[in-house]
Amino acid sequence: MKYSTAILFPGQGSQTNDMRDDVERQRPELLELAVSAVGEDPFARAREGTNFAQAAIFCASLAGWHALGRPHGDVMAGHSLGELAALVAAGALDERDGLELVALRGRLMHDAGRQARDGGMLAVLGRGAADHAEDIALAHGLTVANDNSPQQVVLSGPRAELPGAVQHAEELGLRARQLDVTGAFHSPMMASAVPEFTAALAKIDFAQPNVPVISAVTVRPFEDPRRELADALTMPVRWRETLLALHELGTGRFVEVGPGRVLTGLAKRTLADVELVNA
């Protein structure tokens, strides 16, 4: 199978100050649904925690996709949270169901972080970051949470281990900084979020997507979204591998929809001789 154009949906960390205005202009009914699903306007508190940010970014991503004319490309992919937006855009998941799942996912991940209490995340940056990330993680009891690009990897785990990992990274000539997050996302410390999310997924009807949607957990098209979306809570986001796999399948054009330019930047650092479009 050859894919020429991939539509990419961002995850947490891509929020922008104007994304609420975009949603209100493009999809006002989606804004109303978000308020209902979260219990209040998630955009007003999107920078406070994942329990608000995820619903806001999900809505902004679909609004951006709508503003672009709802393109399907040949294939879709999403970074973590973005997988749910991609499944909606591909016709595999009802929009209202998707938003309810996103609101639940954000709350459960927030609560799991508070329950574990001592979880955190660390960005490792610089040439060779992806090559050294696994060794740094193993040496300090951490998990590679996001393999984003050759120059950017995020580690996740006990907060007490992060300073040692920072020193380790710096000794290798890399830069490292702790992230302002409420938990150790995409690590075993999110395990308490899995049962309730799995139960919610079991009640959702998934359809065959209009185009393939690549899972950033398996780096293959979704086959069992209920299982794969649940696994994504505790498993790494293999984004660099996802981009490389798409490129090997002939993808030469990558279109990021939604707020921010995070995925465009990661693709630029990972791939050469491709067209990058930020919508």
Distance CA 138, CA 146 (A): 15
Q: Catalytic annotation on 66? A: no
Q: Burial, 144: exposed, middle or buried (Cβ in 10 Å; 0-12, 13-18, 19+)?
A: buried
User: Annotated catalytic residue: which of 14, 61, 79, 80?
Assistant: 80
Q: Are 264 and 256 in contact (CB under 8 A)?
A: yes
Q: Catalytic annotation on 80? A: yes
- DSSP string computed for 36-100: HHHSS-GGGGTTT-HHHHHHHHHHHHHHHHHHTT----SEEEESTTHHHHHHHHTTSS-HHHHHH
Q: Map residue 239 onto helix, strand or coil.
A: helix
Q: Map residue 34 onto helix, strand or coil.
A: helix
The H-or-E segment that residue 121 falls in is strand 119-125
Angle 50-67/19-26 helices, nearest 10 degrees? 50
Distance CA 48, CA 51 (A): 8
Distance CA 49, CA 44 (A): 11
User: Annotated catalytic residue: which of 79, 110, 168, 186?
Assistant: 186
Structure tokens at 4: 């020429």
Positions marked catalytic:
80, 186
